[in-house]
Amino acid sequence: EVQLVESGGGLVQPGRSLRLSCAASGFKFDDYAMHWVRQAPGKGLEWVSGISWNSGSIDYADSVKGRFTITRDNTKNSLYLQMNSLRAEDTALYYCAKDTLSDWGQGTLVTVSS
């Protein structure tokens, strides 16, 4: 059974940084691309970033380009999202998702507020 468990969310002031993690199990992690998707309170879903199986291909939504960095460690079956220069509009539940977004974690909440 695929399991994705996000962690690292919390309350952070505007302009500060936060690093999210996603621990994967139940599948061969290094065979699949992975993604981060977010959902602001009461809003729809927004794809944030994706990384190929070998980190050779990475992409970001325009809204986070230059501020967020996605990485993965296939030896630890883990996905990461380094979020810098956080803004109030980054407040959301952040999900990690597998491949074509077939499987999702339960999310970790990031709140950006002074």
Partner 1 sequence: DIQMTQSPSSLSASVGDRVTFTCQASQDIATFLNWYQQKPGKAPNLLISDASDLETGVPSRFSGGGSGTDFTLTISSLQPEDIATYHCQHYASLPYTFGQGTKLEIK
Q: Which is nearer to partner 1, 90 or 114 (CB)?
A: 90
Task: Decide whether 47 or 84 has the Cβ nearer to partner 1.
Answer: 47
CA distance 64 to 35: 14
SS3 (DSSP) at 64: coil
Residues contributing to the site for partner 1 (CB under 8 A)? 35, 44-47, 50, 59, 61, 95, 100-107
Q: How far is CA 1 from each of CA 7, 8, 52, 93, 114, rounded to the nearest angstrom?
A: 19, 23, 21, 23, 40
Nearest approach in angstroms of CB 59 to partner 1 is 4
Instruction: Please state the closest distance from residue 23 (CB atom) to partner 1, in A.
Output: 15
Rounded to the nearest whole angstrom, what is the least distance from the CB of residue 21 to partner 1 in the complex?
A: 17
Nearer to partner 1, 17 or 63 (CB): 63
Phi, psi values for residue 24, rounded to 5° = -110, 145
